[in-house]
Amino acid sequence: MRIATVVQGRFHAFDLVREFTKRGNSVELFTNYPEWAVNKYGAGASMVRSYWQHGVARRIAGRLGFRAEAAWDRQFGIWAAKQIGRGQWDVLHTWSGVSLELLREHGNRRGATLLLRGSAHIRTQAQILREEQERTGVRVEQPSSWIMEREEEEYQLTDRILVLSNFARRSFVERGISPEKLCLLPLGANSTVFRPQPETIEERLSRILSGAPLRVLYVGNLSLQKGMHDAVNVVRALDPRRFEFRFVGSVSKDAGDEVRMLRRLAQVVPKQPQSQLREQYSWADVFVFPTIQDGFAAVLSQAQASALPILCTTNCGGPDIVREGETGWVLPIRSPEAFTDRLTWCDEHRDELAAMVEGVYRRQGVREWKDVARDFEDICRAGLLRAMARSGEAQ
């Protein structure tokens, strides 16, 4: 199968392309990452078309405070449409926000088109972020009217929309998108990278059972969208003699006050390369993810592969991978009290928590990237069959 993957940035595209290529498919990757960076992530077996000048210019502009979202997305979309016009593929797999020009020119004429939306429906995302701004009194970056209209046109032009969680899927159905147009593709993790050594698990179990402070870890962007307003309240409510918190990730402008407070109460570690995240997960006893909106969040799969019990919200991929009371707990958004109560339970029920860690390590099957690639291949084949049937009807 010949497939073109179009992505501005990296996201999970490089992991998927790597494994999809291993399954014998021919992949051409269109990205604004330089080719050497693509190779670094193991996706070099595919053919790479790099608009690296766009990536470099956008990074520099971002650091200088010039966002110009419309210009950057449109420019990448025009480049991608031109590149796609030079070849033939069975499937176009492209990211939302930068695909309008591509879909207008090539949609329904070059095999199947699959649009990946990494979050909830963009209007649902905007509504949740607007509510968070009203709740906190802090300006939260939200999708502009321009990008919302652009994405909604992309939703209409594509054959299928790929979503990463049932939470995201429901948001599309609630906004009037037919369930038949939606394909669910949960993400995965590389267990060889994140699975702990036996001695790490032994140390974790010993630490939990000894009554030492529980080590609570968060990995991801430190932003209001990721629940940092609630995270501060959780940390403040719990006894520092019973809990140690560590937050790992880059800091968003809207969470500046929250992170300043966290630095007085917890460890705050800068964003780490994926190759160095293993030691962060190995440090911890429990993983928390208080996000108010996420399409999936790959850190959940990484935490699960690291044999950490997970406390997450309903608005992400957590409900799809967490078995309640066995591998973790799913809690309401904007409910720091629920996180506080559950962490208190973990502290007061050390034997049960240790048994959960051991059970996750011994029995929990982790969804690997090869599993994601297999399911993606099935989606592609089904989409291609529909495209062929559509072409036959047209003739």
Label residue 104 by pLDDT band (50, 70, 90). very high
pLDDT for position 389 = 76
Residue 169 has pLDDT above 90, yes or no: yes
- % the chain with pLDDT above 90: 81
- Show me where the domains of the chain are located: 2-188+369-394, 192-363
How far are the Cα atoms of 61, 143, 147, 251 from residue 139, in angstroms, in the given order? 21, 13, 18, 15
pLDDT at 393: 56
| Residue 335 confidence (pLDDT) | 97
pLDDT at position 258, please? 96
Provide the 3-class DSSP secondary structure of residue 374: helix
Spatial CA neighbour of 116 closest among 55, 32, 172, 42: 172
Outline where 166-222 has alpha helix (H): 166-174, 191-194, 198-210
Query: C-alpha angle with apex 29: 24 to 31, nearest 5 degrees?
Result: 160
CATH T-level topology, domain 2-188+369-394 = Rossmann fold (3.40.50)
> pLDDT-derived band of residue 364, with 50, 70 and 90 as boundaries?
low
> Over 90: is that where the pLDDT of 387 sits?
no
Q: How confident is the model at residue 45 (pLDDT cuts 50, 70, 90)?
A: low
pLDDT at 38: 87
Closest to 313 measured CA to CA, from 165, 190, 121, 163: 165
Confidence at residue 312, expressed as pLDDT on a 0 to 100 scale: 98
Decide if 2-188+369-394 and 192-363 have a common fold: yes
Residue 108 banded pLDDT, cuts 50, 70, 90: low
Residue with more model confidence, 234 or 191: 234
**Model pLDDT, residue 40:** 82
- Asked whether the predicted pLDDT for residue 394 surpasses 60, the reply is no
Residue 65, pLDDT score: 73
Residue 300 backbone phi and psi in degrees, to 5: -65, -45
Sign (positive or negative) of CA dihedral 320, 326, 328, 331: positive
Provide φ and ψ at 266, rounded to 5°.
Answer: -150, 170
Element counts in the chain: helices (H) and strands (E): 18, 13
Confidence band (pLDDT; 50, 70, 90) for 382?
Answer: very high
Residue 267 near residue 246, CB atoms below 8 Å: yes
Class of residue 188 by CB neighbours under 10 A (exposed 0-12, middle 13-18, buried 19+)? buried
Q: In this prediction, what percent of the chain has a pLDDT beyond 70?
A: 96
pLDDT at 46 over 80: no
- Per-residue pLDDT tens over the stretch 303-341: 999 999 999 999 999 999 999 999 999 999 999 999 999
Is residue 39 very low, low, confident or very high in pLDDT (cuts 50, 70, 90)?
Answer: confident
Mean pLDDT across 70-85: 92
pLDDT tens across 272-305, in order?
988 899 999 999 999 999 999 999 999 999 999 9
* pLDDT, tens digit (0-9, with 9 covering 90-100), for 200-242: 999 999 999 999 999 999 999 999 999 999 999 999 999 999 9
Reported as a pLDDT band with limits 50, 70 and 90, residue 183 is very high
Please, which pLDDT band fits residue 62 given cuts at 50, 70 and 90? confident
Confidence at residue 256, expressed as pLDDT on a 0 to 100 scale: 95
Please give the pLDDT value at position 166: 97
Query: Is 308 within 8 Å of 360 (Cβ atoms)?
Result: yes
For residue 110, the model assigns a pLDDT of 60
Q: Domain 192-363 belongs to what architecture? A: 3-Layer(aba) Sandwich (3.40)
